Structure 1
Amino acid sequence: MKREFMMRGTSMFFLLLFMSQTTYCSQSIYGSEFDYKKAKPTSDYFYGKSRKEIELYCKREMLGTSDLSACAQFRYERIMDAFDKRVSEVEKILEEDDKANGAYGQPAALPYFKKAQANWLLYRENDCYSNVYSVGQASLRFIDFWDCMTGITKHRLDELTKPNSDD
């Protein structure tokens, strides 16, 4: 009886150990929430490489998932550099216009532009997180996230660069 109990106890111990290992192994970084603001810059991933070298590397076929994700993030970082520059230019233009219009008692546009930008950033983030999390766990979800962020940002950059053009 004592021996039978020990056998069952040992069997239960290994069964529980196996189950906990299975649960642990089934979890991955792809199943957790992702904060893109905490992502390391791609300059860390592509350490020592020039922008041109990275661009050429990212055009290669047969890249692994980590490389594809880093390349997608790299494209996002590039568009954000151009985007931030353009937003800064627009803010300077609006600031000057606000000074001139203020002399005639007109309301300032810059505070509304800044509010619109803050809301646009929230829209972009939430839209991309929603799209990516809707597919569940997948190794390509971060690539999809970066591509989403890049596409929406590029569209907004085009709006800010050519505000009067009809598409």
Structure 2
Amino acid sequence: MKEPVSGQDAKAEREHRPSPIDVHVGSRVRLRRTLLGMSQERLGEALGLTFQQVQKYERGVNRIGASRLFDLSRVLDVPISFFFDDMPGQVGGSQGFARRVAGFAEESSPFEDDTLHRRETLELVRAYYRIQDPAVRRRVFDLIKAMTPVE
């Protein structure tokens, strides 16, 4: 039988979970790196890090400081705001923060739809942008749209 968790133990457990914001920023680093076809090793070399450190950033386990975020934006050729794009409202909004402080944090993950983070999606996007001829690329785009159900 499990012993009840004390208030202090529960607080320590919560503190070890990655912040949803760190997870989101890390997933955006991974998204951009993958879209560029860059390995974790190569990104690590460009930043003076090991690939394990890059993995921890991408999972949100390690927080990315301001200077490192600046370096990432330069190496990945995106504005810093890219890392915060598409952040769910309950994560980034002030109301979400206020609700978390008041103890009304939602238990479900705000990142349930991982379509953009699947390897298949990323490989498809990379292959699509490798098509050199804009007319061919447009025909592929039109073909895919024609094959999908109308919403």
Per the normalisation by structure 2, the TM-score is 0.30
Q: Which has the higher helix share?
A: 1
Per the normalisation by structure 1, the TM-score is 0.28
Q: Which has the higher contact order (CA 8 A, sep 6+)?
A: 1
